[in-house]
Chains A and B, each alone.
Chain A
Amino acid sequence: MADNNNILVQVQDLKIHFFTNEGTVQAVDGVTFDIHSGKTLCMVGESGCGKSVTARALLQIVHRPGKIVAGDIILHRQTSHNQTEEINISKLEPKGRVIRSIRGKEISMIFQEPMTSLSPMYTVGNQITETIMLHTRVDKNQARERTLEMLEFVGIPRPDRIIDEYPFRLSGGMRQRAMIAMALSCNPSLLIADEPTTALDVTTQAQIIDLMQGLQKDYDMGILFITHDLGVVAEIADNVAVMYLGNVVEYSDVYTIFNDPQHPYTQALLRSIPKVTATREKLEVIRGMVPSPFRRPSGCPFHPRCTKAMPICSQVEPKTINLNENHQVHCLLFDDSIKNPVREMAS
Chain B
Amino acid sequence: MTGAILQSQLSSPSQNGKPLLEVHNLKMYFPIVKGLFGKISGYVKAADEVSFFIQPGETLGLVGESGCGKTTVGRCLVRAYKPTDGSIIYQLADGTNVDLAKVDGKELQTYRKDIRMIFQDPYSSLNPRMNVFEIISEVLRVNNLYSPKDMEYQVADIMKQCGLRPEYMRRYPHAFSGGERQRIGIARALVTSPRLVVCDEAVSGLDVSVRAQILNLMEDLRRDMDLTYLFISHDLSVIRHICDRVAVMYVGKLVELADANTLYTNPLHPYTESLMSAVPIPNPNLRQRQNRIRLEGEVADPSNPPSGCYFHPRCRYAQEQCRLETPELRDMGNNHTVACHFAEELELIGVRMA
Contacts and interface: CB of A to CB of B under 8 A. Distances in A.
A binds B: yes
Interface of A: 46-47, 157, 171-174, 201-207, 209-210, 228-235, 237, 254-255, 258-259, 268-270, 272-280, 282-286, 289-290
B333 interface: no
A279 B237 CA distance: 10
A201 B249 CA distance: 13
Contacts of A229: 280
Interface in B184-223: 207-213, 215-216, 219
B209 A268 contact: yes
- Of B236, B241, B261, which is in contact with the most chain A CB atoms at under 10 Å from its CB? B241
Given A203-B278, A277-B354, A290-B177, 18 more contacts: A201-B234, A202-B234, A206-B280, A206-B292, A207-B295, A228-B207, A228-B208, A229-B280, A269-B208, A272-B208, A274-B237, A274-B238, A274-B241, A275-B240, A283-B215, A284-B212, A286-B209, A290-B209
B284 A234 contact: yes
A183 B295 CA distance: 24
Given A203-B295, A234-B281, A276 B236 contact: yes
B237 A46 contact: no
B228 interface: no
29 contacts: A46-B208, A47-B207, A157-B297, A171-B298, A171-B299, A174-B298, A202-B236, A205-B278, A206-B277, A207-B294, A229-B280, A231-B279, A234-B287, A259-B284, A273-B282, A274-B237, A275-B282, A276-B236, A276-B276, A276-B281, A278-B240, A280-B242, A282-B219, A283-B215, A283-B241, A285-B209, A285-B213, A285-B216, A289-B209
B280 A232 contact: yes
Contact of B207 (A203, A210, A290): A290
A161 B285 CA distance: 41
A270 B281 CA distance: 12
A279 B243 CA distance: 10
Nearest to A254: B284
Contacts of B299: 171
A230 B241 contact: no
A267 to B, nearest CB: 12
- Of B180, B236, B276, B295, which is in contact with the most chain A CB atoms at under 10 Å from its CB? B295
Given A202-B236, A274-B215, A234 B208 contact: no
Contacts of B287: 234-235
Contacts of A273: 208, 212, 237, 282
A189 B210 CA distance: 36
Contacts of A228: 207-208
Contacts of A202: 65, 234-236, 275, 278-280
Contacts of B29: none
Interface string B252-279: 0000000001001000000000111111
Contact of A46 (B209, B236, B241, B278): B209
A279 B239 CA distance: 10
Contact of B209 (A204, A233, A269, A282): A269
Contacts of B278: 202-203, 205-206
Given A46-B207, A234-B280, A274 B298 contact: no
Contact of B281 (A171, A201, A210, A231): A231
- Of B209, B279, B295, which is in contact with the most chain A CB atoms at under 10 Å from its CB? B209
A195 to B, nearest CB: 12
B241 A270 contact: no
A342 to B, nearest CB: 26
B169 interface: no
B66 A201 contact: yes
Contacts of A255: 284-285
Interface residues of B, number: 50
Contacts of B285: 255, 258-259
B274 A203 contact: yes
Contacts of A205: 278, 280
A235 B353 CA distance: 15
Contacts of A285: 209, 212-213, 216
B319 to A, nearest CB: 22
B334 interface: no
B208 A235 contact: no
A214 to B, nearest CB: 12
B144 interface: no
B350 to A, nearest CB: 10
Contacts of A46: 207-210
B178 interface: yes
B236 A283 contact: no
Interface in B59-73: 65-66
Given A47-B207, A206-B294, A234 B282 contact: yes
Contacts of B139: none
B66 A276 contact: no
A235 to B, nearest CB: 5
B327 interface: no
A289 B354 contact: no
A90 B219 CA distance: 48
5 cross-chain pairs, A with B, having the tightest CB-CB distances, nearest first: A231-B280, A274-B241, A272-B212, A206-B278, A46-B207
Contacts of B351: 276-277
A203 B235 CA distance: 11
B243 to A, nearest CB: 8
Contact of A203 (B178, B179, B237, B275): B275
B124 interface: no
A90 B290 CA distance: 43
B283 interface: yes
B295 A276 contact: no
B208 A230 contact: yes
Contacts of A204: 65
Nearest to A229: B280
Contacts of A290: 177, 207, 209
Nearest to B179: A289
A274 B241 CA distance: 6
A235 B211 CA distance: 21
A259 B213 CA distance: 24
Nearest to B177: A289
Nearest to B213: A285
A274 B236 CA distance: 9
